[in-house]
Amino acid sequence: MDQQDGTRRLRLEVRRMLLQYVLQILEDDFQRQLCLQKLHLSITKALLSCEQRFTHVRELICWLFEAVSMAVGSKDNKHQKRERNENLKMVMALQKMLVLALEVDRTPTCSSNKLSQELFHTVISCPKREHRLLVLGTLESNLLKCKLLELLLDYECPQKIPVPMSLSLLLHFLQHCTLPSDPADGSEDWRRWEELLQLIWMLLLSYEEVMKGHLRCSITERSTYSRAPTWTLNDSLTPAVVQEAADAFLARTERDLGFSLPTHVQESLALLQQHLLDTY
């Protein structure tokens, strides 16, 4: 048994090293072709283009979720811990490959839409919160993270509104979304409300990066954009609107739980309110 475990760990390490080697080749070539304004000639374009090779990208996503499922859980001994660390390294490498797949085409918005739809269907089938949060927390592309979170929260929101991604939509999610319970929560039902707040925070920060970094533009054109981000009317917030959304969130949690949220969750909500008011 020890010999079999040792062989499995060795195979895992070899697989991880091979993956990182391939990633390094892709990244080096991507940067070289980007400097030459010839991304259409890159290895990534030939292998992982969302426009031309999406079947390959789907396989990449399957590998990602396989690695995620092996990267979380108990760490009973040093061998299990090492295996999980190897899988976590593979998760990080695969996430970097997804960034290359998203950026190599001239339409990152279209690529992020395709990628987020593919990721969405897999994420909603994950019963464990730690799997979902690992996928979201390791996403390297803020454009992809923003779109995926928008899809996930819209899915969990019974009250739909015809508003594009914006701060108004974010507050709508805070007011109306309800996430499913996690099997590991036991009697701690408040954890799903903590998760919702985590997702709202992730959505806010990634949306800010999308707007400020002009991430919807092609990577070859992005460096030429020096102007400030263009916010819309749906991004215009007042203290009263922010307070109303926060109050609605707290009222829903108290109706569901029968008691107030733990202090650290309430503090996170207060910080969210302050961030929105200070920034916008």
Tens of pLDDT, residue by residue, the chain (280 residues): 566 667 878 899 999 999 999 999 999 999 999 999 999 999 999 999 999 999 999 999 999 999 999 998 766 677 788 999 999 999 999 999 999 999 999 999 999 999 999 999 999 998 899 999 999 999 999 999 999 999 999 999 999 999 999 999 999 999 999 999 998 898 899 999 999 999 999 999 999 999 999 999 999 998 788 788 889 999 999 999 999 999 999 999 999 999 999 999 999 999 999 999 988 7
Task: Say how many domains are in the chain.
Answer: 2
Do 4 and 69 fall within a single domain? yes
User: Are 86 and 161 within one domain?
Assistant: no
pTM attached to this predicted model? 0.94
Do 63 and 140 have their domain in common? no
Q: Which residues of 114-132 are buried (b: 16+ CB within 10 A; e: fewer)?
A: bbbebbbebbeebeebebb
Statement to judge: residues 88 and 177 lie in one domain: no
Same domain, yes or no: 222 and 157: yes
Last residue of a domain, one of 77, 105, 133: 105
Question: Using CB atoms within 10 A of its CB, is residue 250 exposed (0-12), middle (13-18) or buried (19+)?
Answer: middle
**Does residue 115 lie in a domain region?**
no
Residue 154 and residue 210 in contact, taking contact as beta carbons nearer than 8 Å: no
Residue 112 falls inside a structural domain: no
- Residues 132, 51, single domain; the answer is no
Task: From 37, 70, 105, give the residue that closes a domain.
Answer: 105
Is residue 113 assigned to a domain? no
Range of the domain at 249: 125-280
Last residue of a domain, one of 105, 138, 163: 105
Same domain assignment for residues 137 and 91:
no
